[in-house]
Amino acid sequence: MANLDALKTSLAKHDQEQLLQYWEELDEDQRRLLTEDIDELNLEEVNEFFKRATSSLEEGNAKLDDKMEPVCEDKFLSISRTTEDQLKKYHEEGLRQIADGKVGVLLMAGGQGTRLGFAFPKGMFNVGLPSNKSLFRIQGERILKLQRLAAELTGKTGRITWYIMTSEHTMIPTKKYFEENDYFGLKAEDIMMFEQGSLPCYDFEGKILLDEKHRVAKAPDGNGGLYRALRDRGILDDLERRGVLYLHAHSVDNILIKVADPVSIGYFVEQKADCGAKVVEKSHPNEAVGVVCQVDGKYQVVEYSEITQKTAELRKEDGRLVFNAGNICNHFFTTSFLRKIGTTFEKDLKLHVAKKKIPFIDSTGTRCTPDKPNGIKIEKFVFDVFQFAEHFVTIEVPRDEEFSALKNADSAGKDCATTARADIYRLHRKYIEAAGGTVDGTECEISPLLSYGGEGLKVLVHGRTFVSPVHLMADEEKKSEVVE
């Protein structure tokens, strides 16, 4: 009983004794599981998290208008307003970094496809393209094609290391899926999967809830949990061991993502940046996206709800919005910056509170599913490290070429499989037309193994007319089409 006595003492010290209220009803296995759950909690830390998070909730209604400034023009690259020659220089520099093995990708893939009506990790979702490729496969093949383009330019066969952050619930199915699909042609040793952490769920008084009589209620700690996971799962050590200097971090659900985009890598390296963000120009003042800007001289993402309508509508002389850098969860970091975050600043990351309907065990021992918010979940956001950057850059990319989110079931009519599919069709048709071809119809898909971003198509499509549905594949795919 010494272990139980120690648990009771520790919980009493931190005012969380309720976690043991059903101890007498548990069998040995259940007691072991509950003990493990409690041992995983740093009770002093999680109590402090609750205090910090709820105090920030009280401050959350303050508007930031007077403290805000737009991003610095001298650290801002607009792809659409930059010459082709300059973009080519950045592109080639990015490919050289890839050829030298200095580039990695951090994929945030902890989400389930629940809102899509899909009971598996979101990265496994197939939006219904002619190829039937999943998000994971599309992104993996873009990485493979980039490695080949880098080798063609430099003669070196450097590899991009793919770091994939899963959640507790998506790790096993994600691993299995990659194994069954032979890692999409990539080398298994260049793919590192690791789990993000979790934080306990609280009632409004700061008491940690039980999900079952023998399990603590927990939730993923948000995409900002990336930094703690990189440190605690040994990923920072792996990055340094491999000599990876630059990381592209993004979420899994953007079907147009230019994974390890060499243009952005080249610009990032030229600017000697330690942190950066890709953004899209806001479509209108009230678009519900956060904006990348400066607050009190430090970069951060300000949510649309944190500014007044007047500030949202401010425009420059050329008619564009003053605060127009829409955040799309698409970021760049140096490994050394991530190490600095992990060792020094992670503990200072802002905590975001969400009031949620959290299933819990009530005082009678019954598991309840509430019909209104009964507690809070705490999350960290990936962009909250911007303030710690010494050399921050912003890269504005064309929305129709680089951003199409997959969030909802088709019934929502936006950010769904139908819109993702349509965005791929439109972009790939644009690639063919730019290379001198014509497409009769709308359905048009180009394999990432054939072209990463429209390059190399002229010899195949110039002067030709293609009738929809169009599916252009690399020679290696024509032998056996992908069916997942």
**Percent composition of the chain: helix, strand, coil (DSSP 3-state, to 5):** 40, 25, 35
Nearest residue to 253 via CA among 148, 106, 123: 123
Helix (H) or strand (E) holding 199: strand 198-200
State the DSSP code for 342. I
> Domains of the chain: which residue ranges?
63-407, 420-483
Dihedral sign computed on CA atoms, order 252, 256, 262, 268: negative
Rounded to the nearest 5°, which phi and psi values hold at 346?
-55, -40
Dihedral sign computed on CA atoms, order 105, 111, 115, 118: positive
Q: What radius of gyration, in Å, describes the C-alpha atoms of the chain?
A: 24
State the DSSP code for 463. T
Q: What is the per-residue pLDDT across 461-478, written as a single tens digit (0 to 9) for each?
A: 999 999 999 999 999 998
* CA–CA dist 129, 443 (Å, integer): 9
> So what's the pLDDT on residue 5?
87
Q: What tokens appear for 422 in the block?
A: 């349509």
**Cβ neighbours of residue 432 closer than 8 Å, sequence gap 6 or more:** 438, 439, 444, 446, 457, 461, 466, 470, 472
> So what's the pLDDT on residue 474?
95
State in words which class domain 63-407 has: alpha beta
* CA–CA dist 82, 77 (Å, integer): 7
| 300 within 8 A of 414, measured Cβ to Cβ | no
Q: What is the per-residue pLDDT across 328-366, written as a single tens digit (0 to 9) for each?
A: 999 999 999 999 999 999 999 999 998 999 999 998 999
> So what's the pLDDT on residue 223?
92
308-313 long-range contacts (CB < 8 A, ≥24 apart) are 308/63, 308/65, 309/285, 310/65, 311/63, 311/65, 311/68, 312/285, 312/286, 313/285
**Cβ neighbours of residue 482 closer than 8 Å, sequence gap 6 or more:** 131, 132, 133, 137
Q: What is the pLDDT along the chain (484 residues), one digit of tens a residue?
A: 447 888 999 999 999 999 999 999 999 999 999 999 999 999 999 999 999 988 866 665 568 889 999 998 888 999 999 999 999 999 999 999 999 999 999 999 998 888 898 999 999 999 999 999 999 999 999 999 999 999 999 999 989 999 999 998 899 999 999 999 999 999 999 999 999 999 999 999 999 999 999 999 999 899 999 999 999 999 999 999 999 999 999 999 999 999 999 999 999 999 999 999 999 999 999 998 999 999 999 999 998 888 899 999 999 999 999 999 999 999 999 999 999 999 999 999 999 998 999 999 998 999 999 999 999 999 999 999 999 999 999 999 999 999 999 999 999 999 999 999 999 999 999 999 999 999 999 999 999 999 999 999 999 999 999 999 999 999 999 865 544 4
* CA–CA dist 170, 174 (Å, integer): 6
Nearest residue to 105 via CA among 332, 338, 395: 332
* CA–CA dist 377, 356 (Å, integer): 7
> So what's the pLDDT on residue 1?
41
> So what's the pLDDT on residue 114?
87
| 128 within 8 A of 421, measured Cβ to Cβ | yes
**Cβ neighbours of residue 244 closer than 8 Å, sequence gap 6 or more:** 101, 102, 103, 104, 161, 335
> So what's the pLDDT on residue 187?
97
Does a cis peptide bond (omega within 30 degrees of 0) precede residue 469? yes
Strand partners, 327: 279
